[in-house]
Structure 1
């Protein structure tokens, strides 16, 4: 019964998107607004200094890219555009997180970058699994095994990225404590 409701919901969203499609004039106006919003946000960043300014600019650029992806999704509510929205959000978050790491030095910075990468991989892999699941629900071309395979690949990639971040934390340690830390990271992340 739940499966039937999922298909109905997906079909309803697809129908609504065709009924409420963005006209070319609305699309152009929205693109112009996105551009104006980005320029205004970037101008506000000019009041900041050093890495705070860089972080602000990354946030502004990220919001612009996400808004553009969402606009394309509103124009054409395809699975490809839905995936592009999720990817734009993940990329924007990753860029900002990496930029924030620049305030750090040495191992704390390395850990910060690895954590940002792990979060990015996790978001991208979740988008891939969602895309596979939605393609299976909408088109019927994917089998449950394909969705399961996408989920398995995603889990492996996320575990690997999280392991690398955990391993980086261990680099600040030495001796037996470091060895235990590495062993724990391997055990926890299935390496």
Structure 2
């Protein structure tokens, strides 16, 4: 599993470098499918190891295998899509899979210990969901602020161009558009 994670982080670097068009490349698609296939194979091996166990240890083992598969699949999907929405969705699904694992672990307990364990698992899930959503909003806010600043700087540059006339003004406006990507 550690090798798979290392491969995924390596793929993330490659995908991040190729920016938003990464999903369209055949190499990115192949890396995505390879990561998902590796996750499926690892999941099958983990479930096979669980067969020798019985009762709650078996359930915990299978829940751990499923949580690891969800993590690998979601990370591969997020790296492949390379969008804020994909990363946020990935974090939410991983948190939910971890919650399911925690609930299975709590099943081995009894009484108040079990109640506390389930409440703690639920609190961890809520915190993870809140963090993912807050991070998404913060990233969107920074992007909006960056766009607003760029628009304001463009307006200033364009205003400076009003001091010129004719071809010189046209060149100034063109340079401002190029500088501020308008």
TM-score range, shorter chain: 0.5 to 0.7
How far off is 1:139 after superposition? Answer: 4.5
Label 1:43 to 1:139 Cα distance change in 2 as closer, same or farther (>3 A): farther
Deviating beyond 6 angstroms after TM superposition, the runs of 4 or more aligned structure 1 residues are none
TM-score, length of structure 1 as denominator length: 0.61
Describe how 1:106-125 pairs up with structure 2 within 5 A.
106-125=111-130
Label 1:142 to 1:135 Cα distance change in 2 as closer, same or farther (>3 A): farther
Gaps in structure 1 of 5+ consecutive residues: 1-11, 144-191
Matching of residue 53 in structure 1 with residue 54 in structure 2? no
Gaps in structure 2 of 5+ consecutive residues: 1-12, 149-182
> CA–CA distance in 1 between the matches of 2:35 and 2:78?
13
2:167 maps to which residue?
Answer: none
Matching of residue 16 in structure 1 with residue 25 in structure 2? no
How far off is 1:19 after superposition? Answer: 7.8
Matching of residue 96 in structure 1 with residue 101 in structure 2? yes
After superposition, the C-alpha distances for 1:40-86 in whole angstroms (9 at most, x for unaligned) are 11111112221111011111111111111111111121111111221
Label 1:13 to 1:139 Cα distance change in 2 as closer, same or farther (>3 A): farther
How far off is 1:94 after superposition? Answer: 0.9
Q: Aligned pairs, how many?
A: 132
2:37 maps to which residue?
Answer: 32
RMSD (Å) for aligned C-alpha atoms = 2.7
> CA–CA distance in 2 between the matches of 1:15 and 1:141?
20
After superposition, the C-alpha distances for 1:74-119 in whole angstroms (9 at most, x for unaligned) are 1121111111221122112211111111111122211111111011
Q: Are the aligned partners of 2:15 and 2:28 in contact in 1 as well (CA < 8 Å)?
A: no
Matching of residue 131 in structure 1 with residue 132 in structure 2? no
1:80 maps to which residue?
Answer: 85
Structure possessing the higher radius of gyration over alpha carbons: 2
TM-score, length of structure 2 as denominator length: 0.64
